[in-house]
Amino acid sequence: MSEVSLGLISAALLQRDLLLALRRRADVLTTFFFFVIVVSLFPLGIGAQPETLRAIAPGVVWVAALLASMLALTRLYAWDHVDGTLEQLVLSPQPLVVLIGVKIFAHWLVTGLPLVLIAPLLCLQFDVPGTAMGVMVLSLLLGTPCLSLIGSIGAALTLGVRGGGALLALLVLPLYIPVLIFGAGAVTASAEGMPAGAHLSLLGALLLIALVLGPLASAAAVRIALE
C-alpha cells in the first residue's frame, strides 16, 4: 500500500466538505440569512435614531454573529457522525487533529466567511462610520474562526445527544464570551475615535490559542463521542 501524503488527504477532505456544503446550499444560506435578519430586527425593536444605532451596532452585529455561528455548528459533525464518515476519519492512519482542523476550516469558509463579507452592508444599516466599519470586518475576520474553533469542541461533545441544539448553546456561548468582549470592544473603541489595536491584538491572541487548542480538544471530544 502506498503512502498517501497528509496534504493530499487534507485537500481531498476540504474539497469534499465544500462540495457537500455546495450541494446543501439551503443550509449554508439559512445561517447567512439568519445573521442578516437578526441584525435587521434590532432597529425595528429599538428605534431608528442614528446615534442609538451607531452605539448598539458593534454589540448587535457581534451577538448575531455568535448566534449564527452557533446555529451552524450542529452541522459540523452531525451528518458525518450519522453516515459513519467521522468513524472512518478516526480510524484513518492520518492524524485526527489535522483532519478535524481541515473540517473546521471548511466549516468556517462556508459559515464564517460570509458573515465577514456581509458585515459592511449591515454597518451601513446602522450608520457606522468608515474606519469603524473596517475594524468591524477585521474583528470578524479574526473572531469568526475563533468561534468555529471553540464551537467545534461543543459540537463534538454533543454528538449523539438528545436535545443537542439547546444544550450546545449552553456549552458554547459562555466560552464565546472573551471573543465577544474583544470583538465588539474593538469596534466600539474605533467608533469612539480611540485606537482599536489593543482589542484586535487580544483577538488575534485568542485566535492563535484557539488554533492550537481547538483542533486538539475537538479531536479528543470526537474520540469520546465515538467510544
Partner 1 sequence: MAINIWKYASPQAFFPLAGKLAPWFLALAGVLGAVGLYIGLLVAPSDFQQGDAYRIIFIHVPSAWMSMFIYFVMGVASVVAVVWRIKLAEVVAMQSAPIGAAFTCITLVSGSLWGKPMWGTWWTWDARLTSELVLLFLYLGVIGLYHAFEDRRQGARAAGFLAIIGVINVPIVHFSVNWWNTLHQGSTINFFGTSKIAADMLWPLLVLTLATKLYYVASLCRRARADLLALEGNKAWVHELVAPEVAP
Min CB(43)–partner 1 separation in Å: 23
Is position 217 an interface residue for partner 1 (rule: CB under 8 A)? Answer: yes
Query: Please, what sign has the CA dihedral across residues 109, 102, 143, 164?
Result: positive
Q: Is 84 left (phi over 0), alpha (psi -120 to 50) or beta?
A: left
Is position 164 an interface residue for partner 1 (rule: CB under 8 A)? Answer: yes
Are 119 and 185 in contact, with CB atoms under 8 Å apart? no
Angle at 11 between CA 216 and CA 218, to 5 degrees: 15
Q: How many residues bind partner 1 (CB under 8 A)?
A: 22
Of residues 102, 153, 189, 219, which one binds partner 1 by CB under 8 A? 153
If we measure between CA atoms, which residue out of 83, 118, 94, 132 comes closest to residue 10?
Answer: 94
For partner 1, the closer of residues 90 and 137 by Cβ is 90
Residue 162: all three cell numbers together: 438528545
Is position 220 an interface residue for partner 1 (rule: CB under 8 A)? Answer: yes
Is position 224 an interface residue for partner 1 (rule: CB under 8 A)? Answer: yes
Min CB(220)–partner 1 separation in Å: 7
First to last CA, the chain: 28
For partner 1, the closer of residues 142 and 210 by Cβ is 210
Is position 58 an interface residue for partner 1 (rule: CB under 8 A)? Answer: no
| Selected range binding partner 1 among 47-55, 100-108, 133-141, 174-182, rule: CB under 8 A | 174-182
Is position 207 an interface residue for partner 1 (rule: CB under 8 A)? Answer: no
Q: Is 103 left (phi over 0), alpha (psi -120 to 50) or beta?
A: alpha
DSSP collapsed to 3 states, 120-144 = HHHHHHCCCCHHHHHHHHHHHHHHH
Min CB(174)–partner 1 separation in Å: 4
* Residues of the shown chain interacting with partner 1 in the complex, contacts defined by CB under 8 A: 153-154, 157-158, 161-164, 167, 170-171, 173-175, 177-178, 217, 220-221, 224-225, 227
